[in-house]
Amino acid sequence: MNYALSPPDKWFTTTSQPLFDSWWKTLKALHHLNNAIGIDLGTSNTLIYSPTEGVVLNEASIIAINQFTQTPISVGNTARQLLGRTCAPIVICRPVRNGVIADLKLTQTMLQTFIRKAQRGTRIFRPRLVLSCSCGATSIERDALIEAAIDAGARDVVLIDEPIAAALGIGLPIKKPKGNLIIDIGGGTTEMAVICSSKVINSQAIPIAGDSFNTAIIDHMRKIHQVKIGELMAESLKIQFGSAFDSVFNDRSMEILGVNVGSGLPQRLEINSSELRDAISTPLHTIAVSLLKFLEKIHPELVSDIAERGIMVTGGGALLSGIDTFLQDLTHLPVHIAPNPLNSVVLGTGMILEYEHQSNFCFT
């Protein structure tokens, strides 16, 4: 007797997975593909960190717009190169001033451009942001920062105080019950904060920082030599020859080209590094006085921790030659320069992204 058997593929039946489940798993997989970034939105520069690629963007926080149509012409480093090189109706704007938003709409436009550039146009989902902010920012200023980030394309925004982000980026053991003093000399503000057990115990922010050094150099050239120089020239002088201590550079001389205030003609001028040091002495003195007053407010137990561990200086101002010796002679405390002062804050936001499930920091 012959038996007719069905084909093998009909012997077993499998239940097909619902379409919704497969799509959901696919979406979840895509959602975690680099869908979070950390941003250090500074007065002078904006940096963006990706957990998979590191620091992917470092651009000037500047935007060039047409003042009649309010449309952006260029953003970032390209807009910075236009400083002093434009005519009406093009104007150069800094939408972030002294660590807080000065123009909400321009900040949204600038952030949107930076986020798209950092993501290279390949992301499907709106990213989640860890965004640094000044520890002295008010609730209104923090809400404005969150609103600007959301309107720029963020899905969710977590704010973290800049001193905590900088401490994480440097690698300080801030979880321990020991005091750490951080001085962040940025472009628009200088922030001083004592961190203990992952919390900011004391903090202070003053609107004197790197941009103040540039302004002081410009004013000095105009007042002493009747020569007008631009912001880019002043910053170049500060970076190459600026110093905070007498023994640095040993009075090197340099030649600059400016415009004579009286005649309006180009004029070459030779100055030395000691004169440049005198030009920035006023903002340096202001920072020094603020630091001494800040130390007076710190609890003695925390001061003893700081005397043992030292002061950590970060931000672009930490690159000013001799700043550590200047502060050490002033406070009689050990002073250290951060290994990567320009990227400390944005690296800290990256650590929050990578280890957020393990952290117990007080986010704002």
Q: Are 86 and 62 in contact (CB under 8 A)?
A: no
Structure tokens belonging to residue 257? 């080209």
Question: What's the pTM value of the predicted model, to 2 decimals?
Answer: 0.85
**Quick one: average pLDDT of 260-270?**
91
- Residue of 130 and 354 predicted with greater confidence: 130
Residue 321 DSSP class: B
Pairing mode of beta strands 100-101, 96-97: antiparallel
Instruction: Compute the residue count for the chain.
Output: 364
- Adjacency order of strands within the sheet including 71-75: 71-75, 63-66, 90-93
Q: Note the pLDDT tens digit of each residue in 53-101.
A: 899 999 999 999 998 888 899 999 999 999 888 888 899 999 998 878 9
pLDDT above 80: residue 363: no
Query: Using 50, 70 and 90 to split pLDDT, how confident is the model at 9?
Result: very low
pLDDT above 80: residue 362: no
- Residue of 84 and 184 predicted with greater confidence: 184
Distance, in Å, from the CA atom of 342 to the CA atom of 102, rounded to the nearest integer, reads 23
∠ CA 298-303-309, rounded to 5°: 135
Q: Please confirm whether the linkage preceding 127 is cis (ω < 30° from 0).
A: no
C-alpha neighbours within 13 Å on the C-beta side of residue 295 = 19
Distance, in Å, from the CA atom of 73 to the CA atom of 16, rounded to the nearest integer, reads 54
pLDDT of residue 87: 85
Distance, in Å, from the CA atom of 39 to the CA atom of 152, rounded to the nearest integer, reads 13
Q: Are 331 and 303 in contact (CB under 8 A)?
A: no
Give buried/exposed letters for 291-321 (b at 16+ CB in 10 A, else e): beebbeebeeebbebbeebbbbbbbbbbbbb
Structure tokens belonging to residue 162? 């800049």
pLDDT above 90: residue 299: yes
Give the amino acid at 279.
A
pLDDT above 90: residue 180: yes
Residue 44 DSSP class: S
Q: Note the pLDDT tens digit of each residue in 111-142.
A: 999 998 988 755 557 888 999 998 888 899 99
Q: Which numeric CATH code is attached to 35-164+346-358?
A: 3.30.420.40
∠ CA 280-295-347, rounded to 5°: 70
- Adjacency order of strands within the sheet including 335-337: 199-206, 190-196, 180-185, 311-314, 335-337
pLDDT of residue 25: 53
Structure tokens belonging to residue 350? 């990256």
pLDDT of residue 245: 83
How many other C-beta atoms can be found within 10 angstroms of the C-beta atom of residue 205?
Answer: 24
pLDDT of residue 249: 60
Distance, in Å, from the CA atom of 325 to the CA atom of 332, rounded to the nearest integer, reads 10
Max Cα–Cα distance, the chain, nearest Å: 120
pLDDT above 80: residue 32: no
End-to-end Cα, the chain, rounded Å: 82
pLDDT of residue 60: 94
Domain ranges within the chain, ordered by starting residue? 35-164+346-358
